[in-house]
Amino acid sequence: MAASFSSSLRSCSGLLVLLAAGAALSGCAGMSETVAPAFADPGKYELYDCKQLETERKALASRTADLQRLMDKAQTGAGGAVVSELAYRNDYIAVRGQAQLADEAWRRNRCRETPPEPTPPAAPPSSAAAAKPASKSGKAMR
């Protein structure tokens, strides 16, 4: 009777440990918005000017999108949610924190987006190149 009680107690304690671990991990999934700035240096962007902040914000947005694509791709496979969390989640949270701090510095400095440079119109082909057709045989003409 004592043996069956101890095995029953052991299985119940194992179940409780699994439930506690599941609850702890599920709580982490919703914390990314509030925890993100904790993974970034708050003074990193203090001395950046608007041009540097614009470049940094674009790079961070690109990196965030890349990590999101990688996480989405990893979640399509078997066990993908675990792989996604282990491989990419910490980087994703850190980059999101940096992006939030860069955005705060952007607003604090009252920066504005640089308008894209207009592309110059394409030059028409020169008349000399258009007048002389290329040789089709590949041999030089004499």
Q: What is the pLDDT of residues 43-69, one digit of tens each?
A: 888 889 999 999 999 999 999 999 999
Rounded to whole angstroms, the Cα distance separating 119 from 40 reads 37
Rounded to whole angstroms, the Cα distance separating 79 from 85 reads 10
- Calculate what percentage of the chain has a pLDDT beyond 90: 27
Rounded to whole angstroms, the Cα distance separating 76 from 72 reads 7
Note the pLDDT tens digit of each residue in 21-47. 444 444 444 444 555 566 678 888 888
Looking at the predicted structure, is the pLDDT value of residue 16 above 50? no
Whether pTM exceeds 0.75: no
Write down the mean pLDDT value for the chain: 73
Give residue 103's pLDDT: 93
Looking at the predicted structure, is the pLDDT value of residue 138 above 80? no
Rounded to whole angstroms, the Cα distance separating 64 from 60 reads 6
Say if residue 67 is exposed, middle or buried (CB neighbours under 10 Å; 0-12, 13-18, 19+): buried
Residue carrying the six token digits 């599941």: 22
